[in-house]
């Protein structure tokens, strides 16, 4: 976890913000599943101003289409989410997604239009509503302020670890919170989010500014993650604000807005970073830091290019300091800069080593480099020496297990 000055990381996840409860139960949505939770619910005691971003893939899961319709007024009060089936490319997908909302609404005594829905899992297989119908009373009845870990487990598919963070901070003398959960391990190359992410806050903030903050932070976090270069059909990022912290409403981009944006970044950056760490079959988290770019956009393009390279990812799996692959990935990045000014360093808890200076190799110890690259967290530091633009991107190594997991995904 990366900590930030002025923000205290606390327990509670998606329930850390005032007004929110969550639950997760076993519905048996995927054949043979009798032990893993696969149906989650997040609910607020009040209607929430809600911001959201969804996949840019032309193929969109039915839940996304339903969420967009339900969010036309900018408000929501609960989210129901299943794993094990993406409810995508099905002729009855929208009907099933709407029925999930209806079941939750009836059990919670809310309006159906105030319910959002998410699904993740296998694409192209029909989702039966019966397993969900059978446990809806259990799902709503088990809502709890301590339910975030259960909801977090319920949205996982090939994930090997829960992704759950929350921070506490002050605005106008009031204690405020931002918390969230997310899932994502494979099919991760977001053009806006990750597989599924749900963020909550009790900060009172104008709806337009809430959306602006989400878009801004997403560009620096989830959009800077790549596991395998595939953009999911079901990517959904939802941010709900209860406004129950009793701070004075944020209505302009002042220093209080900046504080909220930084709190959102603290949570979303850690969630995004853990998504990269938990890439399917991954053994290492790769962080590419680019500085000295002509501008921020160039830095982001270069950083994303490096962590998306299959050859770079494979080399780091073997702890091989094959810097030529890194320079190659920098070189085909779709941006303008002088490659002959580029320096590359490799770093980890074991130290730092220079492998490239002014676009050419330098003498270095392969043994020391291998020791540095044998750690679980690796940094690739790229200095373009052409300006003040900086960016960070996160990825993971490419292992034998990634192929095995995805070869056997449906079985």
Full DSSP string of 289-358: EEEEESSHHHHHHHHHHHHH-HHHHHHHHTT---HHHHHHHHHTSSS---GGG-EEEEEETTEEEEEEET
User: Do 213 and 308 share a domain, yes or no?
Assistant: no
Note if 194 is an active site residue.
Answer: yes
Is residue 302, in this structure, part of any structural domain at all?
A: yes
Counted domains in the chain: 2
pLDDT tens sequence across 194-238: 479 999 999 999 999 999 999 999 999 998 988 656 677 888 999
Instruction: Give the domain-ending residue among 219, 253, 277.
Output: 277
Residues 6+ apart with CB under 8 A from 293: 299, 302, 335, 337, 384, 386, 387, 388, 389, 390, 391
Instruction: Give the domain-ending residue among 226, 261, 277.
Output: 277
Q: What is the CATH number of the domain that holds 371?
A: 3.10.20.340
Distance from C-alpha of 81 to C-alpha of 24, rounded to nearest angstrom? 9
CB atoms within 10 A of CB 69: 12
pLDDT at 185: 64
Is residue 83, in this structure, part of any structural domain at all?
A: yes
Q: What is the mean pLDDT of the chain?
A: 93
pLDDT at 246: 96
Distance from C-alpha of 200 to C-alpha of 64, rounded to nearest angstrom? 19
Instruction: Give the domain-ending residue among 258, 277, 296.
Output: 277
User: Do 273 and 289 share a domain, yes or no?
Assistant: no
User: Do 254 and 339 share a domain, yes or no?
Assistant: no
Query: What percentage of residues in the chain have a pLDDT greater than 90?
Result: 81
Distance from C-alpha of 248 to C-alpha of 171, rounded to nearest angstrom? 8
User: Do 248 and 219 share a domain, yes or no?
Assistant: yes
Is residue 141, in this structure, part of any structural domain at all?
A: yes
C-alpha distances out from residue 368 to 285, 319, 320, Å: 19, 11, 11
User: Do 154 and 190 share a domain, yes or no?
Assistant: yes
Is residue 3, in this structure, part of any structural domain at all?
A: no
User: Do 341 and 364 share a domain, yes or no?
Assistant: yes
Q: How many CA atoms lie within 13 A of 237 on its CB side?
A: 27
Output phi, psi for 73, to 5 deg: -95, 0
User: Do 318 and 203 share a domain, yes or no?
Assistant: no
**Given the residues 55, 194, 298, 399, the one annotated as active site:** 194
Question: For the CA atoms of 359, 361, 364, 368, what is the dihedral angle to 10 degrees?
Answer: 70
pLDDT tens sequence across 247-291: 999 999 999 999 999 999 999 999 999 988 887 778 999 999 999
Is residue 96, in this structure, part of any structural domain at all?
A: yes
- Pick the more confident residue, 143 or 35: 143
Is residue 29, in this structure, part of any structural domain at all?
A: yes
pLDDT tens sequence across 53-94: 998 888 899 999 999 999 999 999 999 999 999 999 999 999
Question: For the CA atoms of 314, 319, 324, 327, what is the dihedral angle to 10 degrees?
Answer: 80
pLDDT at 122: 85
With 50 as the cut, is the pLDDT of residue 42 above it? Answer: yes
User: Do 271 and 327 share a domain, yes or no?
Assistant: no
* Domain of 37, in residue numbers: 8-277
With 60 as the cut, is the pLDDT of residue 190 above it? Answer: no
pLDDT at 3: 83
Is residue 1, in this structure, part of any structural domain at all?
A: no
User: Do 189 and 74 share a domain, yes or no?
Assistant: yes
Interaxial angle between packed helices 296-308 and 323-331, expressed in degrees from 0 to 180 and rounded to the nearest 10: 130
Is residue 291, in this structure, part of any structural domain at all?
A: yes
pLDDT at 191: 45
Residues 6+ apart with CB under 8 A from 21: 15, 42, 43, 44, 45, 143, 144, 145, 147
Q: What integer is the mean pLDDT of 36-63?
A: 95
| Beta-bridge partners for 285 | 377, 396
User: Do 213 and 312 share a domain, yes or no?
Assistant: no
User: Do 138 and 169 share a domain, yes or no?
Assistant: yes
Residues 6+ apart with CB under 8 A from 78: 41, 42, 43, 44, 104, 105, 108, 110, 114, 115, 116
User: Do 130 and 23 share a domain, yes or no?
Assistant: yes
């Amino acid at each position: 976890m990366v900590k930030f000055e002025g923000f205290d990381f606390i327990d509670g996840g998606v329930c850390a913000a005032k007004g929110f409860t969550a639950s997760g139960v076993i519905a048996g949505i995927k054949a043979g599943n009798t032990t893993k939770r696969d149906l989650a619910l997040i609910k607020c005691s009040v209607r929430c101003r809600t911001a959201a971003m969804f996949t840019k893939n032309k193929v969109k899961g039915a839940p996304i289409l339903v969420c967009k319709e339900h969010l036309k007024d900018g408000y929501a009060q609960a989210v129901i989410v299943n794993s094990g089936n993406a409810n995508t490319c099905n002729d009855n997908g929208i009907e099933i997604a709407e029925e999930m909302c209806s079941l939750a609404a009836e059990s919670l005594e809310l309006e159906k239009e105030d319910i959002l829905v998410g699904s993740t899992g296998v694409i192209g297989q029909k989702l039966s509503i019966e397993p969900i119908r059978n446990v809806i009373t259990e799902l709503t009845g088990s809502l709890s302020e301590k339910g975030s870990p259960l909801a977090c487990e319920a949205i996982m598919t090939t994930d090997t670890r829960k992704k759950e963070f929350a921070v506490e901070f002050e605005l106008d003398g009031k204690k405020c919170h931002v918390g969230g959960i997310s899932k994502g391990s494979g099919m991760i190359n977001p053009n806006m989010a990750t597989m599924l992410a749900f963020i909550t806050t009790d900060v009172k903030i104008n709806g337009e500014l809430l959306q602006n903050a989400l878009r801004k932070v997403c560009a620096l976090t989830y959009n800077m993650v790549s596991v395998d270069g595939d953009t999911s059909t079901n990517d959904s990022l939802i941010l709900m604000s209860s406004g129950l912290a009793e701070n004075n409403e944020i209505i302009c981009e002042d220093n209080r807005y900046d504080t909220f944006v930084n709190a959102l970044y603290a949570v979303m950056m850690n969630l995004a970073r853990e998504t990269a760490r938990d890439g399917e079959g991954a053994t290492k988290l790769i962080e590419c830091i680019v500085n000295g770019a002509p501008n921020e956009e160039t830095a982001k393009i270069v950083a994303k290019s490096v962590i998306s390279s299959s050859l770079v990812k494979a080399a780091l799996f073997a702890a091989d300091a094959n810097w030529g692959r890194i320079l190659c990935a920098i070189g085909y990045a779709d941006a303008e800069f002088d490659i002959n000014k580029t320096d590359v360093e490799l770093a980890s808890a074991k130290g730092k080593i220079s492998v490239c200076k002014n676009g050419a190799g330098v003498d270095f110890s392969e043994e020391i480099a291998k020791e540095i690259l044998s750690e679980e967290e690796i940094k690739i530091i790229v200095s373009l020496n052409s300006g003040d633009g900086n960016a960070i991107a996160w990825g993971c190594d490419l292992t034998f297990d990634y192929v095995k997991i995805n070869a056997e995904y449906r079985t």
